[in-house]
Structure 1
Amino acid sequence: MLIGGDWVSAQSGKVFPSENPYVGKVWANVPDGGAEDIDAAVVAARSAFEGEWGALSAQARGKLMLRLGDLIAENAEEIARVESTDNGKLYKEMLAQAQYLPEWLYYFAGVADKFGGEVIPSERANFHIYTRHEPIGVIGAITPWNSPVLLLGFKLAPALAAGCTMVVKPSEHTPASTLRFAQLFEEAGFPPGVFNVVTGGRDAGEALSKHPGINKIAFTGSDVTGKRVMQAAAENFTRVTLELGGKSPNIVFEDADMEAAANGVIAGIFGATGQTCMAGSRLLVQSSIKEELLEKVAARAKTIKLGDPMDMATEMGPMATRPQFEKVMGIIDRAKSGGARFVSGGRASPDHDGFFIEATIVDDITADMEIAKDEIFGPVLSVLTFDTEEEAIQLANDTRFGLAAGIWTQSGQRGTRVAHKVRAGTVWINAYRVVAPNVPFGGFGHSGIGRENGFDAIRGYTETKAVWVELTGATRDPFNIG
């Protein structure tokens, strides 16, 4: 683990295994950190925040971030290989993410010295009033197993730009790529303690969430775990950003470009094996075109190539973890028992070892069924129909989540109307699964609190301070000092 610039074992001496989900076997052992390791990392991060890192100008921080971005680009292939081996997602997807990640460092490096306060007009002539945005302090980041390094970057880049330091606890299922990523900080020239990594399980995550030395927790994961993180953080009034799950609708109207919509539906749910918070896991299709669209989507789903994530020809890899594989199969089995019709898939792949599930499409369901309302985080598409625009909006919003939505229509007016009425943090019209460092990302309801990316993100890593300067210096009545 990386603590205060040193590579260390867990103080307990314990380690835990990480499985390669493609073969279902252990490929790495990493330190099993606990509360005492979290303590050490927080002390290191606080020391850097109050010391060398805190003394740097915004311009100097930005230059270090630019160097880190360059190093990520130079090492993208290796980071992607480690990540794909650890979580089973396609190497080509992990490589695309690693190659895109530098843009977060470049964007926020540019923001670092441009995010300032403002002068506020005063009703009192003897006062000059201005605001400062000061770094909130030490950040505790808890990252998920599906895209560990990219989703770490969503938190790290704005935090560094704001002047914060960080302790990250990656998922115990996929810790390896974060450790490889951490090696770049010393090479980039960051002061020790600015970035710290403690690997471990639930105990380490809880210790980080409730630590009194942490000023903000940035978490990505399920809404169930997000509640626990928020409850732990509340003990110390620790600020939180929660980027949680989704049950996002892909809404297809009868006037949509059918080929484009079919491709968007397939990419929205079967890309990344459905293991993405923004997965378009609910297909809401207008009744008049349901059979035509479903035929196209099902035909393509049945040809999706499963296999070795490192093979560039593979289109869908395994589930990232054994528990996730078992969870998804349980949901599928209960849907079968409930009378759902499986248009494709619905079983573990008989042709592969590891944690493979076939691309699955489920029809003849109701909106209150588990498979239609709960986040699955796997390659499972639930199909619901509507007749009118109003019904489509009602179905789209009939969820506790509100992370993302797709709308497929050739009417710009309809697309805009529906986008404004759907309760989701991101809405794509005739597109799906597009993000950028300068565009806010986050959700409504159980999909989280706060936003990552864009200026909204850096605001979340600062405290706003108002400064009143009395200009005359005149002696005043102590009970009326204004």
Structure 2
Amino acid sequence: MAHTSIINLPTAPAIVGNVALWKPSRTAVLSNYYYMKLLQWCGLPAGVINFVPCTGVDMSKYVVSHPKMAGFHFTGSTGVFQSVWKQVGENIASYANYPRLVGETGGKDFIFAHNTADIEPLVAAIVRGSFEYQGQKCSACSRAFVPASIWPVVEKRLKEQTATLKVGDVQEFDTFMAAVIDKASFETCKGYIDRAAASPECEFVAGGTYDDSKGWFVQPTIIRCKTPTYESMVKEIFGPIVSIYVYEDDKLDETLAICDSASPYALTGAIFAQDREVIVKMEKALRNASGNFYINDKCTGAVVGQQPFGGARASGTNDKAGTALNMIRWVSAHTVKESFCPSSAIAYPYMTEA
């Protein structure tokens, strides 16, 4: 599970009366362990939430296939969630109940600008939304669409702002970006950068370099893509790389349709415009492209209790973690009727002649 979900995933089912098994991500075991210790310090009874660091294979073999598994609350990759769903389907006849499957998986989150957008907030949203936490958030901006008429000034400001970002040790408070989480993530980012460097469809606006001599560091990278379906515009990367497609101003409708359909995901998205009629039009065109939608704000940073979080399509089941909508998924409803004036009649009134 991702860091952003460590609180909700094991505790939501437990709060409404279930026993939970908590399998942390292999790259987040330590932080998850400390949170488990905090729960115990706060008085969590033993056996309610059970912290079980293990391999995914063992989780599938011993837990997902167990007849008493009543639900699976997941944050992670789309591929893993699909494999779990498949395994549940194959074992459906052996469960005591039909398991509840709730997943928040991948994303290819977007920022879409109109030519009436305020430049500085747009630039800030792209830079911060793409590069904070090294882009390792499911809601991080990973692609952007910018109209040609404002692109020159947007490009200039993106270069200037990205150049100010300090990449280094997180113990230094002025550091904006650290290393990516592990070697596998580094190699993924490196692959996208290398292929973009070799492709005639791409040019670097910023970054495009990396260094693993000490840690796994990828510089904040902005790629301008000549086509909106180039791989870095449609595939999830989960790193500090954002791809931008510059569209002709008179191709707004066409480009909105591409943004909606080019990626299988639908997690978060944002639009920037000052024309209210255009805002309404863009929101309508992109209503199915994200579960969390932002107007004149970055596409990341949902606040629990204020902005229920989740997405649909390949991004998950959209059960809105952190809200009552999610909690209901872990409850088995029980309806009771008591009659204080029980009827002794058998025949219904319409059956009797007047």
Please tell me the residue identity of whatever aligns with 1:181.
Y
Distance 2:138 2:53 in 1: 22
Q: What is the CA-CA distance between 1:460 and the residue it aligns to? A: 1.6
RMSD of aligned Cα (Å): 2.1
SS in 2 for 1:464: coil
* Aligned equivalent of 1:396, options 255, 259, 262: 259
What is the match of residue 53 of structure 2?
199
Alpha-carbon distance change, 336 to 413 in structure 1, aligned in 2, over 3 angstroms: same
Distance 2:64 2:166 in 1: 40
Distance 1:385 1:265 in 2: 14
- Deviation string 1:146-174 (CA, Å, 9 cap, x unpaired) is x2xx3121324432432223111001122
Alpha-carbon distance change, 258 to 452 in structure 1, aligned in 2, over 3 angstroms: same
Question: Which stretches in structure 2 are left out of the alignment for 5+ residues?
Answer: 93-97, 348-354
Distance 2:324 2:277 in 1: 29
CA contact (8 A) 2:123 2:157 kept: yes
Q: What is the CA-CA distance between 1:226 and the residue it aligns to? A: 1.4
Distance 1:365 1:466 in 2: 58
Please tell me the residue identity of whatever aligns with 1:442.
G
* Aligned equivalent of 1:415, options 279, 303, 318: 279
Q: What is the CA-CA distance between 1:477 and the residue it aligns to? A: 5.0
Q: Are 1:155 and 2:22 counterparts? A: no
- Deviation string 1:39-86 (CA, Å, 9 cap, x unpaired) is xxxxxxxxxxxxxxxxxxxxxxxxxxxxxxxxxxxxxxxxxxxxxxxx
Distance 1:469 1:393 in 2: 55
SS in 2 for 1:226: helix
Distance 2:133 2:221 in 1: 14
CA contact (8 A) 1:249 1:406 kept: yes
Distance 1:188 1:230 in 2: 34
Alpha-carbon distance change, 233 to 152 in structure 1, aligned in 2, over 3 angstroms: farther
Aligned counterparts, 1:65-464, within 5 A = 143-144=1-2, 147=3, 150-207=4-61, 208-234=63-89, 235-236=91-92, 237-339=98-200, 340-349=202-211, 353-386=214-247, 387=249, 388-398=251-261, 399-422=263-286, 423=288, 424-432=290-298, 433-438=300-305, 439-449=307-317, 450-464=319-333
User: Larger helix proportion, structure 1 or 2?
Assistant: 1
What is the match of residue 63 of structure 1?
none
CA contact (8 A) 1:185 1:195 kept: no
CA contact (8 A) 1:348 1:357 kept: yes
SS in 1 for 2:341: coil
Distance 2:258 2:203 in 1: 20
TM-score by length of 1: 0.65
Distance 1:344 1:181 in 2: 37
What is the aligned-residue identity percentage? 25
Please tell me the residue identity of whatever aligns with 2:304.
P
CA contact (8 A) 1:250 1:265 kept: yes
Q: How many correspondences in the alignment?
A: 332
Distance 1:189 1:375 in 2: 39
Distance 1:473 1:226 in 2: 49
CA contact (8 A) 1:436 1:453 kept: no
Please tell me the residue identity of whatever aligns with 2:235.
D
CA contact (8 A) 1:262 1:296 kept: yes
Distance 2:222 2:60 in 1: 37
CA contact (8 A) 1:332 1:371 kept: no
Distance 2:55 2:214 in 1: 26
Q: What is the CA-CA distance between 1:375 and the residue it aligns to? A: 0.2
Q: What is the CA-CA distance between 1:476 and the residue it aligns to? A: 5.8
Distance 1:187 1:167 in 2: 18
CA contact (8 A) 2:14 2:49 kept: no
Distance 1:362 1:153 in 2: 34
Distance 2:65 2:196 in 1: 38
CA contact (8 A) 1:241 1:451 kept: no
TM-score by length of 2: 0.87
- Deviation string 1:91-147 (CA, Å, 9 cap, x unpaired) is xxxxxxxxxxxxxxxxxxxxxxxxxxxxxxxxxxxxxxxxxxxxxxxxxxxx13xx2
Distance 2:64 2:280 in 1: 39
Q: What is the CA-CA distance between 1:359 and the residue it aligns to? A: 0.8
CA contact (8 A) 2:257 2:285 kept: no
SS in 1 for 2:218: coil
- Deviation string 1:325-350 (CA, Å, 9 cap, x unpaired) is 11111122222232221122112148
What is the match of residue 352 of structure 2?
none
Question: Which stretches in structure 1 are left out of the alignment for 5+ residues?
Answer: 1-142
Q: What is the CA-CA distance between 1:393 and the residue it aligns to? A: 1.9
